[in-house]
Homo-oligomer: A and B are copies of this chain.
Amino acid sequence: MSDDPLLVHEDDPYNAETRTSALVGREITPNEAFYVRNHGPMPRLSSEARIRVDGLVERVTEFAAGELADRFESHEVTATLQCAGNRRTGFLDVRDIPGETPWGPGATGTARWRGVRLRDVLAAVGVREGATHVGFTGADLSDAADPPSEFGASIPLAKAMSDEVLLAVEMNGEALPLEHGAPVRVVVPGWIGARSVKWLTRVEVRDAPSDNFFQAVSYRLLPAETDPADAGPGDGISLGPVALNCDILDPATGTEVHAGGVTVRGYAYAGGERIVTRVDVSIDGGESWCQAELLGEADPWTWRLWTCDVTLEPGTTTILARAWDDTAAAQPEHAASLWNPKGYANNSWARVPVRVRPA
């Protein structure tokens, strides 16, 4: 097992997920272990970098990144971020997904984010009538966009005005690290990580969702039979709030354990504004389930860690897990029925095969 908490998928752009060994049992993911999802080279911005707030506002205003914390009240939100492609590997057994990062269960993490509320900034500049969305642009240029462009996204105005959406300048008590968007990133709790734009340079109040490539074309769930090369703006389901999800972190996939009592550990995340109400574990293919113990407190913005003691017989076993939310919705059974051409939102049951040796 590597000591490096990150499993690097790509160096350029730098993309790395947290190893399960570094996620397991930790409510908060340390900065050096937090997954990194980039779409281009990381821009190095100083605290003098400007953030322009424009569009449907009363007063177009530029702030220096470093002055935000002085101008507005400071708030902290503990929030899970989760990549829309988290657990994509579960799709790859069904059908290949060329050109997309093969994220396992570690494209997610939870941090204490500190910064200023987006709504306080919007109040300072005055939102004009007709505004319905708020767009964000980062300084990172991506040639994954067609044509190449800065990374961008948008969220509905109602979400932008919520208590929990921050322009964050600190992560777990430290200045925001370069790879997490220094000096200022957006944090949109409950939504896919792609909406939490890093290296923020612009906030645009709009009367429609952003037409940035990563909002209008990418990060959309297409029907299985679609060729993604044919997908244009507005096709598919625009990903926003995260779908109910969970995974098993320990034992790790494909490892060997001793027969007898085994403690299964993992995370569950309800997404959107929902909470996790139950997690089930099965060692008989879903014929019967035991209820995991949920650790910590229910909170819509953070994952729920869980633990479940099972007794394993020698042989080969696949451990299953599934979460339920506060509507009593449970995760779908099979990745096969959720497979989609860009490999987003695999929230099928967690399935971790293990070899069980005689005790």
The residues of A with any CB-CB pair to B shorter than 8 Å are 221, 223-225, 237-244, 271-274, 277-278, 280, 286, 288-289, 291, 324-334, 337-338, 344-345, 347
Contact = CB atoms under 8 A, between A and B. Distances in A.
Contacts of A289: 223-224
Total identical chains: 2
Nearest to A327: B243
15 contacts: A223-B278, A223-B289, A224-B289, A237-B277, A239-B328, A241-B327, A242-B327, A243-B327, A243-B328, A272-B272, A272-B274, A329-B345, A329-B347, A331-B332, A333-B337
Nearest to A277: B237
A344 B332 contact: no
B274 A324 contact: no
A273 B273 contact: yes
A338 B278 CA distance: 13
Contact of A278 (B237, B244, B331): B237
Contacts of A337: 286, 330, 333
Contact of A328 (B225, B273, B325, B345): B345
A288 B95 CA distance: 14
A271 B347 contact: no
Contacts of A237: 277-278, 324, 326, 328
Nearest to A245: B329
A242 B291 CA distance: 22
Contacts of A240: 326-327
A116 to B, nearest CB: 24
A13 B221 CA distance: 46
Given A237-B326, A240-B326, A271-B327, 6 more contacts: A221-B328, A223-B280, A223-B291, A243-B325, A329-B345, A329-B347
Nearest to A220: B328
A328 B225 CA distance: 16
Most chain B CB neighbours (cut-off 10 Å) among A288, A291, A327, A337: A327
B330 A333 contact: no
A324 B334 CA distance: 15
Nearest to A271: B327
Contacts of A291: 223
B327 A344 contact: no
A266 to B, nearest CB: 18
A242 B274 CA distance: 12
Contact of A333 (B277, B278, B333): B333
Contacts of A221: 324, 328
A216 to B, nearest CB: 16
Contacts of A241: 274, 326-327
Contact of A332 (B223, B272, B277, B332): B332
A286 B333 CA distance: 13
Most chain B CB neighbours (cut-off 10 Å) among A237, A242, A334, A338: A237
A192 to B, nearest CB: 9
A349 B224 CA distance: 17
Most chain B CB neighbours (cut-off 10 Å) among A271, A280, A333: A333
